[in-house]
Amino acid sequence: MTQTHMMPDGRAIAYRHIAGTIAGTGPTIVFLPGYMSDMAGGKASAVFDWAAAGGRACLLLDYSGCGQSAGNFADGTLSRWRDEVIALIEAYVAGPVVLVGSSMGGWLMLLIARAMPGRIAGLVGIAAAPDFTEWGYDSAQKAQLAAGQTVLEPNPYGPEPTPTHAAFWADGQAQLQLDAPIPLDAPVRLLHGIEDADVPPAIGHRLMGALRSGDVQLTLVKGGDHRLSRDEDIALLLRTLASLAD
């Protein structure tokens, strides 16, 4: 059942949460969707169903302006969405968490983990896309964004173009992660499709190298695209989660 969490400024954040029903089933799984995605997506739903079937605790949410959450997408930034996730974890989750970040959610999971390192039992990145405001735009697009304009790009997953708003881009440029050591020590598992046309697999290699943790594994998936949503990709994700959550 979808519920609503009210932020102090009145933002209404939609979420789904189940508490673990079996003792010893490990940390709460927190799924972080990608850019313009939501908790109704295939990977989020698969994780939630897997957690429920195993008596595990799980938290899904829609960032403000996305999915069932109120707000204007144009107001969204990494900092804003990071703070929403942290607020929900603090309100509804006791004990450690495993953050699962898909695409942009893989950038958010780093920011959240840095803000609350004592709560992190592990990180799972699915085509994690940290720093895409830097490597994902050409110089002309960056000039537009720096001038306060919105950049529209073709959307391979839907009929409407994908917008990047100036505030999101500016906030992202202030949150770059890959050019300095990332001071996180939890186990990290990175899953990346070799055929990913949106986030180059080289980003996964850069992230693995930047993380301070000595327990980081990057799995390259033959034939996998950016979404990693085939049956075999979902099975890999759930096996990876089980290995961390257990």
Token code pair at residue 183 = 């001071």
Active site residue 196: yes
- Measured CA to CA, the distance from residue 182 to residue 70 in angstroms comes to 32
- Active-site position among 62, 131, 196, 198: 196
Report the C-alpha dihedral over residues 237, 109, 190, 186, rounded to 10 degrees: -100
- Active-site position among 62, 83, 226, 233: 226
- Active-site position among 103, 131, 192, 198: 103
Active site residue 103: yes
From residue 17, alpha-carbon distances to 93, 141, 175 in Å are 9, 39, 28
Active site residue 49: no
From residue 190, alpha-carbon distances to 19, 74, 125 in Å are 26, 29, 5
Annotated catalytic sites, by residue? Answer: 103, 196, 226
